[in-house]
Amino acid sequence: MKGQVLCEKRTASDGSCVAVLTMDNKPVNALSAGVRVGLEKQLQELTADSSVKAAVLSGGPGVFCGGADISEFATGVEGPSLTDIIAAIENSEKPVVAAIDGVSLGGGYEVALGCHWRLASSRAQAGLPEVNLGILPGAGGTQRLPRLIGAEKSVDFICRGTPMKAQKAVQLGLYDQLVDGDYSSLLQAAVEFAAKAAGQDLTLRRLGRGKAKAAELSQKRQEYAKSRKGELAPQAIISCVEAAVAQDFQDAMKVEFSEFCKLMVGPQAQALQYMFFAQRQCQKVPGLDKAAAPGTCGIVGAGLMGSGIAMCCAENGIKVVLLDIDQKNLDRGMTAIKKNYARSVERKSKSQAQVDGLLASITPSTSYDSLGHCDIVVEAVFENMDLKRKIFAELDRVCKPGCVLASNTSGLNIDSIAEATKRPQDVVGCHFFSPANVMPLLENVRGPRTAPQVMAKAMAFGAKLKKVTCLVGNCPGFIANRVMNVSGWTHLIQGGLLPHQIDAAAEAFGMRMGPTRMMDLVGLDLFGRERERKGEQDDQNEYERFQKLLAEEVGPGNPHGWEIKSDWAKDYSKQQFKMRVSLRSHESGNPNKLLRGDGKYKGVVPEDFLGFLLKPELPGMKEWKDVETLPDGFIKYCRVKAPCMTPRDHCWKYTIDRRADGSIFVCIRTTTHPECPEKPGIIRAYYYNSCVFKMSETEEGVMEMTEFIFQDLKGGLPVSLMNAALPKGTLEANKAEMKTLLAKKSSDAQTQAPNTLPA
Ligand SMILES: C[C@H](O)CC(=O)SCCNC(=O)CCNC(=O)[C@H](O)C(C)(C)COP(=O)(O)OP(=O)(O)OC[C@H]1O[C@@H](n2cnc3c(N)ncnc32)[C@H](O)[C@@H]1OP(=O)(O)O
């Protein structure tokens, strides 16, 4: 059984005995069964031991408690329930004071809410982040908090799920008192506090009673339906807080329990909890030793990406040299950074003194020689191989030995870039996502010649920047953009739909940014252009040809494609575009019946996304393999090549299950590109299970998508959520299948769908 609770008796200055109970379950004192059993036992002893007058509950120095043990959710929770333990703390006749150093999150903060007082050090943080796991605070958090700080503030705190630092938390009433100094000062203060509280009437300190003050929450429902689009948990949280206002504690707790259970068994919670562990897993790379994070970072190019990376470094304690050989570009980049920070001061998210410190850590420069002392240099110019190679030759000249030479490319070949230097072992890719100071994902690309210690430093760089850092192989588009590409949106456009219609449907599902807008932002012409330059473009490949067409339509040959493309993004419903693209589709003999089969589109509806994926008669979908059906005719499992990537790249798997309620769960997985993902964690998190969605059958027998979960519900990443239930060994099985597929590559190519685009 994981975890325990230690007990030490201390004597306060008035001579009374106080029990100090310390949760002990490294690294974050999660409330695993051992901790719950320990708490239950210590509370019984507290009641029984008449020599003890009061108790302090702590988690030791640095962390109070990271909440319920999330790994238990999948395996089943055994032992005493957290709700009962919190009730026992609250109902204790002897005062229990929480001494909080470090994070108190989820169930951890709910335990603190059960205590009669909450004392915190300046390092403490309070949070109810369950919403990020697709659930809600299910141990009384949705009930005690509204009774403490009011319903409206509680809804915001719980639905945002963002932890709050100690000082603000005291202002909001989440903690009672801030204690200066380190953990031992906090503990000492808590012991004294508890001793003084002994014998007091604790009735008013118990939050589990009565109702919360009345509040009108319908506005909040709308607000969170918009800001956390598609997510079930925020609405369930609001229902619980409404119950806190309308019902007595015990009845309202029943509502919380019922809402918690509904969420817990749902696909969103399963997917988000899977993602929690997958994100952490993908940062651990077998075979790489731990490396020190760089202290100084050079950045070449002061454009949108360069200035974003500079801010990100500065905010995480890395000194920056921001280089642009064009003084005007450099000034523009620095101005953008200053404006961004000025806004932060306006919004009060940073103080002027903090901003001054951040700006002081960014040194603008126009000379390559100023990069000589940097531990890592990230080149962040636009995607042009010749330019990148020139820059890397220059970096080779000026950078100190051992400096990591990184390219922020979203798809170019790292090995070709490395060739421009005499130290290809020092070259990696660091693919940031725009805006680089906001987006959580970083793809670190290992070239064939990158040395392990260099890769380790790049991973440490990502960790220092607090990014979800994935190690990926060197192949076109790496992982995130490849996932984006196979989402099939080009097929919809070829079918006669307009980009904004596709985005509207995707965004209605909860994607922060629809696939066409996203791809536009990344650069429609990016991958095709480089492959074309190298003579590698596959004219037989429908996807590549269509990318080329789009690039021609929206930003031909424009090196700063961003502006033109963003114009297009704003105005892409224009008739001209529609005509050109549809005309070309018709001319090419595209049957224009991709989705409905009648050639008419009344607007895109969610199931269109599924439609094109699941209809075997569609172009590019001719190669369904290993179809296994359920007795009722639904597909249980099949394997099919991706419709829009080269045959050697992908094969897709669908697992479709019918649930007891009649809904169908579909999990799409792609197998790996032979060169691409490097480890299962990454594949599972970002690539393997592209999306999870739920379909129901309408009365007319039409399949309708009722839920669709993208990872970018939150971050706007061009990747999707994954299914929680990925059986062990799936990866190996798929690799074996991929091998077979590759062996049959040439014969497969002959049976590909005919080209549908004009040359
Ligand atoms: C009934 C209740 O209402 C339900 C709940 O309480 S649900 C849980 C709510 N709590 C949370 O969501 C907090 C989740 N944890 C975190 O945010 C962060 O881990 C943290 C801020 C506590 C610490 O962050 P950081 O120091 O960067 O360490 P991090 O790498 O994230 O975690 C360290 C290890 O603890 C594990 N861990 C963290 N929180 C955990 C939790 N609640 N349960 C199980 N394991 C947890 C991580 O998986 C990781 O394990 P690994 O080393 O094997 O990969």
Each residue of 171-214: pLDDT tens digit?
999 999 999 999 999 999 999 999 999 999 999 999 999 999 99
pLDDT at site 638: 42
Strands 52-58 and 96-100, bridge-based pairing: parallel
Does the CB atom of residue 158 touch ligand 1 within 6 A? no
Amino acid at 233: A
**Number of C-beta neighbours around residue 380 at 10 A:** 28
| Cis before 286 (ω within 30) | no
Q: Which of 8, 45, 72, 110 is catalytic?
A: 110
Does the CB atom of residue 67 touch ligand 1 within 6 A? yes
CA of residue 23 to ligand 1 center, whole Å = 15
Of residues 421 and 275, more confidently modeled:
421
Measured in degrees and rounded to the nearest 5, phi and psi for residue 338 equal -65, -40
Of residues 282 and 685, more confidently modeled:
282
Flag whether pLDDT at 115 surpasses 90.
yes
Does the CB atom of residue 614 touch ligand 1 within 6 A? no
Burial 176-189 (b: 16+ CB within 10 A, else e): bebbeeebeebbbb
CA of residue 28 to ligand 1 center, whole Å = 6
Kindly list the distances between the CA atom of residue 618 and the CA atoms of 614, 624, 673, in Å, as whole numbers in the listed order: 9, 11, 23
pLDDT at site 229: 74
Does the CB atom of residue 69 touch ligand 1 within 6 A? yes
Residue of minimum CA distance from atom 3 in ligand 1: 137
CA of residue 25 to ligand 1 center, whole Å = 12
Does the CB atom of residue 134 touch ligand 1 within 6 A? no
Of the candidate ranges 254-258, 470-474, 671-675, the one whose mean pLDDT is the lowest: 671-675
Angle between helices 542-554 and 575-587 (to 10 degrees): 150
Does the CB atom of residue 71 touch ligand 1 within 6 A? yes
Across the chain, mean pLDDT equals: 74
**Which of 29, 31, 70, 104 most suits a substitution to test ligand 1, by most atoms within 8 Å of the C-beta?**
70
pLDDT at site 691: 36
Does the CB atom of residue 26 touch ligand 1 within 6 A? no
CA of residue 106 to ligand 1 center, whole Å = 10
Distance CA 492, CA 496 (A): 7
pLDDT at site 728: 37
List CB contacts of 523: < 8 A, sequence separation 6 or more.
Answer: 383, 410, 561, 562, 565
Highest mean pLDDT among 86-90, 547-551, 707-711: 86-90
Flag whether pLDDT at 520 surpasses 70.
no
Q: What atom in ligand 1 is closest to the CA of residue 68?
A: 6
Q: What atom in ligand 1 is closest to the CA of residue 63?
A: 22
For the sheet containing 468-473, what is the strand order? 362-365, 319-323, 296-300, 376-379, 404-407, 427-432, 441-446, 468-473
Does the CB atom of residue 127 touch ligand 1 within 6 A? no
Asked if 272 contacts 133 with a C-beta cutoff of 8 angstroms, the reply is yes
Flag whether pLDDT at 701 surpasses 70.
no
Q: What atom in ligand 1 is closest to the CA of residue 284?
A: 54
Distance CA 705, CA 664 (A): 9
- Mean local confidence (pLDDT), 270-281: 72
Residue percentage of the chain with pLDDT more than 90: 52
Asked if 322 contacts 445 with a C-beta cutoff of 8 angstroms, the reply is no
Scan for tokens 């905010």, then name that residue: 315
- At 468-511, the pLDDT tens digits run 888 877 766 676 665 555 445 555 554 445 555 566 655 655 55
Amino acid at 397: R
Q: Give CA angle at 110 (104, 113), nearest 5°.
A: 95
DSSP tag of 420:
T
CA of residue 42 to ligand 1 center, whole Å = 24
CA of residue 258 to ligand 1 center, whole Å = 24
Is residue 550 helix, strand or coil?
helix
- Mean local confidence (pLDDT), 407-425: 92
Phi-psi region at 199: left, alpha or beta (left = phi > 0; alpha = psi -120 to 50): left
Q: For this structure, is 130 an active site residue?
A: yes
Residue of minimum CA distance from atom 39 in ligand 1: 66
Distance CA 749, CA 751 (A): 5
Asked if 6 contacts 25 with a C-beta cutoff of 8 angstroms, the reply is no
- At 470-480, the pLDDT tens digits run 887 776 667 66
pLDDT at site 505: 57
Q: Which of 8, 93, 130, 737 is catalytic?
A: 130
CA of residue 86 to ligand 1 center, whole Å = 20
Give kind and range of the element (H or E) at residue 97: strand 96-100
Flag whether pLDDT at 731 surpasses 70.
no
Phi-psi region at 206: left, alpha or beta (left = phi > 0; alpha = psi -120 to 50): beta
Tokens of 707: 């839920």
Residue of minimum CA distance from atom 16 in ligand 1: 66
ipTM, 2 dp: 0.99
- At 11-37, the pLDDT tens digits run 999 999 999 999 999 999 999 999 999
Residue of minimum CA distance from atom 50 in ligand 1: 280
Flag whether pLDDT at 145 surpasses 90.
yes
Distance CA 716, CA 187 (A): 42
Kindly list the distances between the CA atom of residue 426 and the CA atoms of 378, 399, 402, 419, 458, in Å, as whole numbers in the listed order: 12, 11, 7, 11, 10
Distance CA 82, CA 59 (A): 16
Distance CA 651, CA 666 (A): 16
Of the candidate ranges 327-336, 437-446, 709-718, the one whose mean pLDDT is the lowest: 709-718
Of the candidate ranges 591-600, 606-615, 649-658, the one whose mean pLDDT is the lowest: 591-600
Flag whether pLDDT at 550 surpasses 70.
no
Does the CB atom of residue 574 touch ligand 1 within 6 A? no
Strands 117-121 and 52-58, bridge-based pairing: unpaired
Q: For this structure, is 231 an active site residue?
A: no
Measured in degrees and rounded to the nearest 5, phi and psi for residue 398 equal -100, -25
SS (H, E, C) 602-651: CCCCCHHHHHHHHCCCCCCCCCCEEEEECCCCCEEEEEECCCCCCCCCCC
- Short-list 430, 425, 423, 422, CA closest to 450: 425
- The alpha carbon dihedral of 603, 605, 609, 612 has a sign of negative
Does the CB atom of residue 130 touch ligand 1 within 6 A? yes
